[in-house]
Amino acid sequence: MTTTTISNIRILSGAANCLIASLLLAGCGGKGGGTARKTTIQVKGSDTMVNVAQAWAEEYKKVSPGVAIEVSGGGSGVGIAALTKGTIDIATSSRNMKPEEIETAKKNTGKEPKEFIIGYDALGIYVHKDNPLTEITAEQIAQIYMEGGKVTKWSDIGVTIPGGAGDEIVRVSRQSSSGTYEFFREHILNKKDFKLGSRDMNGSKEVVDLVASTPTAIGYSGMGYNEPGKVKMLKVASKPGQPAVEPSVANTLDKSYPIARSLQVYSLGEPTGELKKYLEWSMSDAGQKILEACGYVPLPAAARTK
Amino acid sequence: MNSPRIPSATTGTESGSASRFTATPFVRKKERREAAAKWIFFSMAAAMVLPLLWLVSYIVVRAMPSLSLDFLLDPPLRGMTEGGIWPALVGTIYLIVVALAISTPIGVLAAIYLNEYARENWFHRVISMAVINLAGVPSIVHALFGLGAFVYAAQFGYSVISAALTLAIMTMPVVITSTREALASVPRSFREACWNVGATRWQTIKAVVLPNSVGGILTGIILEVSRTAGETAPIMFTGAVFYKAVERGDFFPYQLNDQCMALSMHLFALSTQVPGVKPSLPFATAVILLGVVLAVNATSITLRVWLRNRKKW
Amino acid sequence: MALPSLTGKSLRPARPLWAVCGEKMLELLIRFCGVSAIIFVLAIFFFVFKEAAPVLWSKNFNLTQFLCSPEWYPTSVSNVRYGVLALIVGTACVSGLAVFLAVPFSLGAAVFISEFCGPKLKEVLKIVIELLAAIPSVVWGFIGLTVTSKIVQQMTGAPVGVNILNGGIILALMCVPIIASISEDALKAVPDTYREAALALGATRWQIVYRVLLPAAKNGLLAAVLLGVGRAVGETMAVLMATGHAVNIPHGILDSVRTLTANIAAELGEAPAQSEHYRILFLTGILLFFITFVINVTADFVVRGIRQK
């Protein structure tokens, strides 16, 4: 019995060695520049854009099979942070890079981040489908979300939630420093802080899901996350007395919808080679069609690459 | 107390003579209490088992529409709202293999040291305490450590290797603990016999202790596989990605310095970040993850039972 | 020690030099791996602390404010505040509720397994416990997000299904197997002579459990509960997905809260590396490390208490 078990150990450790060796080989062989080596483009950043980045990656595989694209979310902050460290190729962001981040990037990598606008997004204000409200002013939204804001109940803005679900407004927000959160703070709350106690969701989709299951909730999330029949997007008026505007492609492009933003990607220095091709493709008609299918607002024809 | 007592059922030896006594109200009350206690404890045990069965079957039923071989082999399609989980499955396998290759040797050797070399003193206690604490550190703290140590300090970047190292350290206590148990179950007399014929410590370990405990060590390693497969937090910041384009059925899509998808991370992403997912898709992902973990555990348990039945001392 | 022979040489057959040296090297390696656990724990502390440390001397940082203020505004434009009180309270509420729910069930289950059921059922239940313990936390989180939150919302009429109660239930289900299996070990460790003595005095099994076993195993049971608390405090993914993630001091169990662990998981990716916010998150990591460290060491001492008796 002893001998057999000893040989078992030998076989086991032999197998383990083989595995390690083959893994290392796989790792090094790739690095060594074999013909089968794929170019990898690492994309990281905004949760708002992770879906469009993913759809591009999926589609680009058909356009250029030699390029593998890795997409991770986490937020605009994480993408830019990784770019300033030089660990990724493209950072997607739904906010602009801050001057100190550009400085850090220059210091760490010696290259200046270059910005490309690749589309637009309108931030939808979502409520439950049974909520009778159809339009809201920017000021009301601010009063709901802002620290010290006066609106805490639906009756404060003249709404009665059907079905006796309650009157307290359940505020659904995003976790701090997601691009969406910062954009919302800047354009709706005028850089004031959020009221504490909002449900800060991890992903844009979670916001819509929570609003869909909570009759008294209000939330904000990219237009692309709309799920008609479960939630309702409100029309937004920038000032009381002005007409409320529906979030749509046309209204975003002519800037009449008040909470719309550009979506940008950053690369370190001027992109070259496969990276350049990929970015050009994403800004071409083919790429923009995918972006539109994901629920975002594509670039106007003049801004696209051919 | 003048009431006669009936012997408890567990002793059982005098059950034949029990009929001679008539149960007094006192005895009946005692019996009733006993039965009640049994039922209370039974229901508590059942309260632990039933939710598990219910939840698992609920998830499986919800997942049904998506479960198929194609689901396993396809990459996610159409903005991750359809298709399968192939890249995530392969990514998880990569992480397991690399993490295991790192933690198993260290863990087994550490257990050998603790069980065969170390004396019972304060130092031994400190090590045991360290093992317990290593197991008790929250997974998110391991993630912070992995980010600080491997991604930044060691400059591995966000990669399979960073994630696997983090997982390896996190799951090492599993190997250490189970290997120690396996080693400790080898009777001391075996070792003494070996020492008496002049073998050194290492020779004894190699020729007697390890062969007699290899099964136990193996169950520990298998358990580690299941831990590694399920963890999410430690890999979220060290090497798991939201999406990577991978061909259907491609076995070698990642390299050690690439980032990879992983099942656990994929489930998290599907349920919090992807809009318009087919409702059964996250459930099916959960079923596969659960299935992998439970199957691995079941293997470990079966192996253990088999070894126990075969054991001769 | 080999006995010297008449010729003065060792009786032991000489081994080749490489074998002797190889063995010495190997033993050195084993010793090194043996202390690796200590190295890893220290390394975890060191690296997490290293990332956190600079913020301790920053002028914006104030330890009292950090621990005692419920205002968590890590990215505020006008007034950055790092107060984790609400997160500590959130962690305490969710883990407290979880342990409160889990302890009776897991102790009951442990007693049933160790005292009341037959060997077959015992085997089956122990396997179920093991499988229950193996379910990954992200799957629990997913269940919390999609299944139990809906049930909680319907049953209680709470506005939001992801709240303390929901998180507590999920965490309780996660803690039960740990507490149950360690408690079962503790009960098993009580010598059978205790049971026999009680039986001989005419005690019923209920009385044996209540009057003999629980007092005899109380240290082990306490350790089991402590380890359950440790697990509940350290759990990340499940609470991230199931508690609703709102920074506030809760007023009831139907409020949403955010825990220390979930806070790190949600914001670490977002915080620009090496920024103050990032360092504060590592500092909360240190806080968590200490909490679980104290819990584990206490549990260890409690268990050791029985052995010394």
- The pLDDT of residue A254 is 80
With a cut of 0.90, is the ipTM above it? no
CATH superfamily of A14-25+38-120+262-303: Periplasmic binding protein-like II (3.40.190.10)
Within-domain flag for C35: no
**Nearest by CB: A19 against B101, B272, B275:** B101
Instruction: List the single best residue of B77, B183, B241, B254 to mutate versus A (max A Cβ within 10 A).
Output: B241
- Write the DSSP assignment of C68-133 as a string of letters: H---EETT-SS--EE--HHHHHHHHHHHHHHHHHHHHHHHHHHHIIIIIS-HHHHHHHHHHHHHHH
Greater pLDDT, B245 or A86: A86
pLDDT tens, position by position, A139-167: 888 888 888 777 778 878 777 777 766 77
**Nearest by CB: A166 against C159, C247, C271:** C159
Within-domain flag for C38: no
| CATH architecture for segment(s) A122-253 | 3-Layer(aba) Sandwich (3.40)
Residue A92 near residue A119 (C-beta atoms within 8 A) = no
- Which domain covers residue C123, as residue numbers? 81-308
Q: Is the pLDDT of residue A240 over 70?
A: yes
Please state, in angstroms and rounded to a whole number, the distance separating the CA atoms of residues C108 and C104. 6
- The pLDDT of residue B14 is 45
Q: Check if B109 contacts C (Cβ < 8 Å).
A: yes
Say yes or no: domain B69-309 is CATH 1.10.3720.10: yes
pLDDT tens, position by position, C223-239: 889 988 988 898 888 88
Q: Structural domain tally of chain C? A: 1
Chain C CA closest to residue B172: C37
Q: Check if B133 contacts C (Cβ < 8 Å).
A: yes
Name the residue ranges covered by the structural domains of chain A: 14-25+38-120+262-303, 122-253
DSSP class of residue A239 equals: S
Query: Residue C280: which residues within 8 A CB-CB, separation 6 or more?
Result: C52, C55, C61, C66, C74, C82
Q: Is the pLDDT of residue B52 over 50?
A: yes
pLDDT tens, position by position, C174-195: 888 889 888 988 888 888 899 8
DSSP class of residue A66 equals: T
Q: Is the pLDDT of residue A7 over 70?
A: no
pLDDT tens, position by position, C91-105: 999 999 999 999 988
Q: Could you tell me the maximum CA-CA distance found in chain B, to the nearest angstrom?
A: 83
Within-domain flag for C53: no
Burial class (CB in 10 A: 0-12, 13-18, 19+), A110: exposed
Confidence of residue B168 (pLDDT cuts 50, 70, 90): very high
Neighbour count for residue C3 (Cβ, 10 Å): 7
Q: Check if B273 contacts A (Cβ < 8 Å).
A: yes
Please state, in angstroms and rounded to a whole number, the distance separating the CA atoms of residues C170 and C149. 10
The reply to whether domains A14-25+38-120+262-303 and A122-253 share a CATH topology is yes
Confidence of residue A14 (pLDDT cuts 50, 70, 90): very low
Instruction: List the single best residue of C3, C36, C181, C290 to mutate versus B (max B Cβ within 10 A).
Output: C36
Task: Name the average pLDDT for chain C.
Answer: 84
- The pLDDT of residue A10 is 40
Please state, in angstroms and rounded to a whole number, the distance separating the CA atoms of residues B34 and B9. 11
**Count of helix runs (H) and strand runs (E) in chain A:** 10, 11
Residues of A in contact with C266 (CB under 8 A): 175, 200, 202
Residue C75 near residue C67 (C-beta atoms within 8 A) = no
Within-domain flag for C28: no
Task: Give the whole-number percent of chain B exceeding pLDDT 90.
Answer: 5
Give the mean pLDDT of C16-30: 85
pLDDT tens, position by position, C103-143: 988 888 888 888 888 888 888 888 888 888 888 889 998 98
Greater pLDDT, C212 or A72: C212
Query: Residue C225: which residues within 8 A CB-CB, separation 6 or more?
Result: C99, C103, C179
Q: Is the pLDDT of residue C272 over 80?
A: no
A37/chain C closest Cα distance in angstroms: 30
- The pLDDT of residue C100 is 92
CB contact under 8 Å between A203 and B157, yes or no, is no
Closest CA to B244 of B19, B12, B85, B135: B85
CATH number at C143 reads 1.10.3720.10
Chain B CA closest to residue A3: B211
Residue A41 near residue A68 (C-beta atoms within 8 A) = yes
